Chain A
Amino acid sequence: MIVFDGVEKRFGDHVVLRDLDFTVAPGEHVCLIGPSGSGKTTILRLLMTLEKVDAGTIRVSGKCLSHMERKGAMVPADEQHFREVRKRIGMVFQQFNLFPNMTVRGNLIEAPTRVLGLPADEANARALELLELVGLADKIDAHPTQLSGGQQQRVAIARALAMRPDVLLLDEVTSALDPELVAGVLNLLRDLGRRTDITFLCVTHEMGFARDFSDRVLMFDAGQVIEDAPPVELFSTPRQQRTKDFLHAVVDRA
């Protein structure tokens, strides 16, 4: 269970998220849509502890992520607390961010061996299994630079899964891909959604994907959720004018 409670995030004078409340149930697939700069990505970055909240709290599986208890009071979390809570959360980035100095195998076994303390053979087995899942078992000894964008992103997804996360954050994972490679990655995610009970939070501009992948879609504007509904409802009968305009613009483009 992910809970955002009165979360505020500012960058200087610019308020990115204001008084944000929402919850995501375990195993739920939630897509975040909305115009650029509406704070969607910031939500994922807050969950991944890449950014810190300015006000409010975030809880993941009961554990407070933004704050910790010290001497009976809640104080902003420190690095060590962050390190503890982020182990159950995985993230896939728009720009893949594979480690170019390692092979595909190296990328996949790095965190399981260094963070979870898995023995090398077990981590290797897990890596191979995941690469088979994403259809890239033959690339295990390749370097990231030898792969296409779509292949890199599938490796990045496998790398995040290697940590067996409860929550997977997908930050516009197909935005940097050539159009012809988008479908492969999205189909992989659909497949993962069916096969696993991972909680998914996706920021996406792929409305078709949001429609058939998610249980719920959150429409963002100016740092707030302005509409929260199952995809069938949100896409066919949006209640807010802002949502209608946004969907209109996005669908027209496609």
Chain B
Amino acid sequence: MPAWDWGYAFEVLPQLLRALLVTLEITLLGSVLALLLGLLIAVLRHARIPVLDQVLWALVEFIRSTPLLVQVFFLYFALPRFGITLSALTVGVLGLGLHYATYTSEVYRAGIEAVPRGQWEAATALSLPPARTWTGVILPQAIPRVLPALGNYVISMFKEVPLLLAISVVEVVNKAQEIGSQTFRFTEPFTIAGLLFLVLSYPASILVRRLERRRVT
């Protein structure tokens, strides 16, 4: 038996590509959740509303200080006890989205703080309502600054999706494992799975780096 069987590799490729679509779907939905929820947390925390601020702080610290895997297990195995049963895919999206929202909220916060105080004051002097100050003045300046950091978190999320094999989400690494255990040939499926991540992550990280450079100049 050769170390690498091209025929076998091409045979398993379509299945892995289909599973990759699941990975991408979870990444995409999880990112949308992480980017929106993180923004909401950052904006709410900026207002420093008593109680709400402490609650959000505790939530963010709790989620950041516990492993994603534990959170995913909790959502998948513990929530049904409270009458909430979610599909593995939904848990995957929610788990990743919530977890990374705590990171993106910190990124947004840094971006918001980097907007000069004079911008807030000019908005006040023009009597702009708070909502418009956010959407028209502050966020359009804060978000472009942090796009590279947000992009990096999206790439991290993409690479964390295989963790969801723990709750039997059939994404690309789980698929490779499944194929391998049926044929007892693991080299090709796992190598291909790894290459698929590389092929997508690397260009994405180049894109992020280009964004970074554009911000500097």
Contact = CB atoms under 8 A, between A and B. Distances in A.
Given A114-B129, A114-B132, A98 B122 contact: yes
A111 B127 contact: yes
B137 A101 contact: yes
A159 B126 contact: yes
Contacts of A49: 124
A160 B127 contact: no
Contacts of A163: 126-127
A98 B126 CA distance: 11
Nearest to B131: A114
A163 B127 CA distance: 9
Interface size on B, as a range, is: 10 to 19
B128 interface: yes
Contact of B126 (A95, A101, A111): A111
Interface stretch (A5-13, A86-94, A192-200, A208-216): A86-94
B206 to A, nearest CB: 27
B125 interface: yes
Contacts of B141: 99-101
Nearest to A99: B137
Nearest to A82: B124
Nearest to B118: A97
Nearest to B140: A101
A93 B121 contact: yes
Contacts of A93: 118, 121-122, 125
A114 B118 contact: no
A73 interface: no
A48 B125 contact: yes
A251 B118 CA distance: 30
Interface size on A, as a range, is: 20 to 34
**Most A CB atoms within 10 A — which of B127, B128, B129, B141?**
B127
Given A93-B121, A95-B118, A97-B118, A115 B136 contact: no
Interface in B93-141: 116, 118-119, 121-122, 124-129, 132, 136-137, 140-141
Contact of B128 (A50, A91, A110): A110
A89 B124 CA distance: 11
A190 interface: no
Contact of A111 (B119, B121, B128): B128
Interface in A76-117: 83, 86-87, 89-91, 93, 95, 97-102, 110-111, 114-115
Given A110-B136, A114-B136, A97 B128 contact: no
Interface of B: 116, 118-119, 121-122, 124-129, 132, 136-137, 140-141
Given A83-B129, A97-B119, A100-B141, 4 more contacts: A97-B116, A114-B128, A115-B126, A160-B125
**Most A CB atoms within 10 A — which of B119, B126, B132, B140?**
B126
B124 A48 contact: yes
Nearest to A44: B125
Interface string A145-165: 000000000000001100100
B150 to A, nearest CB: 18
Contacts of A160: 125-126
Contacts of B136: 99, 102, 110, 114
A110 B132 CA distance: 10
Contacts of A98: 122
Contact of A83 (B116, B118, B127): B127
A212 B136 CA distance: 39
Interface string A49-64: 1100000000000000
A105 B126 CA distance: 15
23 contacts: A50-B121, A50-B124, A83-B129, A86-B125, A87-B127, A91-B121, A91-B125, A95-B118, A97-B119, A97-B121, A99-B119, A99-B136, A99-B137, A101-B141, A111-B126, A111-B128, A114-B128, A115-B126, A115-B127, A115-B128, A115-B129, A160-B126, A163-B127
B122 A99 contact: yes
A144 B137 CA distance: 14
B114 to A, nearest CB: 13
Nearest to B144: A101
A111 B132 CA distance: 10
